[in-house]
Homo-oligomer: A and B are copies of this chain.
Amino acid sequence: MSKDYGQFCGLAKAASVLGERWALLLVRDLSISPRRFKELHDGLPGIPTSVLTTRLRELETAGIAQRQIAGPTQAGVVYGLTAYGKQLGPVLDALGRWGAQRMSTPEPDDVITSASLAAALRSGYQPDVLTSLTTYELHAGPAIAWARAHGGQIEVGAGAPDFTADVTILAGPQLRLLLAGHMSASEAIASGAAEVTGPDGALATFSRAFHVPLDDFETVTDTS
């Protein structure tokens, strides 16, 4: 499947690497921050270690990812993106935003990972909302992500932040509707869909600063 398409075309070259199973999600996770093998394995539920190894090698060969030694001996192996790989960030964000349009409610077996939550924050960020530096800690089910943003600058991460956030939000699956603007901040709080710690109006500001639209057709017409 890693086969080439035999076309002199940038998209074909991209597809030959990123079209591999798990590759896009792996790059997504690496784009949040450098990660260890085990973190990657845990963040991609279902991927076998052998496949993870193979993908990492392929990404290395393609100049997208690289091994980094982070600590003493080889205990500190860490995978990160190269400069070339980092350029994929905005592209994957756009692709994720596109895919998210038809994604309103989690399927019964859908999992939310911390890295995908962080990526969602990054992809929905609106540069013109936050006029002063604001930090967020967001919990969506078992997933945790944080953001530190101000004007055109944003930084996100997966897992608990190492600082105390200005605003902490505990949310359930309804978070999707809030980010889409289909549920107001006050509704979210009143219904218990979100629990907020922080200044008054913080959730309203949050939902404007991180907007992931929904193009609802509710469900795609099933023609089967």
Query: Chain A interface (Cβ within 8 Å of chain B)?
Result: 1, 3, 5-15, 18-25, 28, 45-46, 60-63, 84, 87-88, 90-92, 94-103, 106-107, 109-113, 116, 119-120, 123, 173, 176, 212, 215, 217, 220-224
Chain B residue with Cβ nearest A60: B223
Q: Identify which of B5, B11, B28, B96 contacts A95 (C-beta below 8 A).
A: B11
Bound complex: CA A2 to CA B181 (Å): 31
Give min CB distance, A110 to chain B, whole Å. 4
Tell me if A15 and B7 are in contact (CB < 8 A).
no
List 30 interface pairs A-B (beta carbons < 8 Å), by A numbering: A1-B1, A1-B21, A5-B25, A6-B45, A6-B46, A7-B112, A7-B113, A8-B112, A8-B173, A8-B176, A9-B25, A9-B28, A9-B99, A9-B112, A10-B97, A10-B98, A10-B99, A10-B103, A10-B120, A11-B95, A12-B24, A13-B99, A13-B100, A14-B95, A15-B24, A18-B19, A61-B222, A62-B220, A87-B98, A91-B98
A95 to B11, CA, bound (A): 6
A8, A20, A22, A102 — which one has the most chain B CB atoms within 10 A of its CB? A8
CB distance from A45 to the nearest CB of B (A): 7
Q: A6-B45, A111-B7 are in contact. Are A14 and B60 (CB under 8 A)?
A: no
**Contact B10 A100, beta carbon cutoff 8 Å:** yes
B113 touches A221 (CB 8 A): no
CB distance from A5 to the nearest CB of B (A): 6
Check B102–A95 contact: CB distance below 8 A: no
- In the complex, what residue of chain B is closest to A9 when comparing beta carbons? B116
Asked if B90 and A221 make an inter-chain contact with CB atoms under 8 angstroms apart, the answer reads no
Known: A11-B28, A15-B25, A92-B11. A84 touches B102 (CB 8 A): yes
CA A98 to CA B13, docked complex, whole Å: 9
Q: Is the CB of A19 within 8 A of B11?
A: no
Q: Which 10 A-B pairs have the closest CB atoms?
A: A10-B100, A14-B99, A10-B99, A11-B96, A9-B116, A8-B110, A10-B96, A13-B99, A8-B106, A63-B220
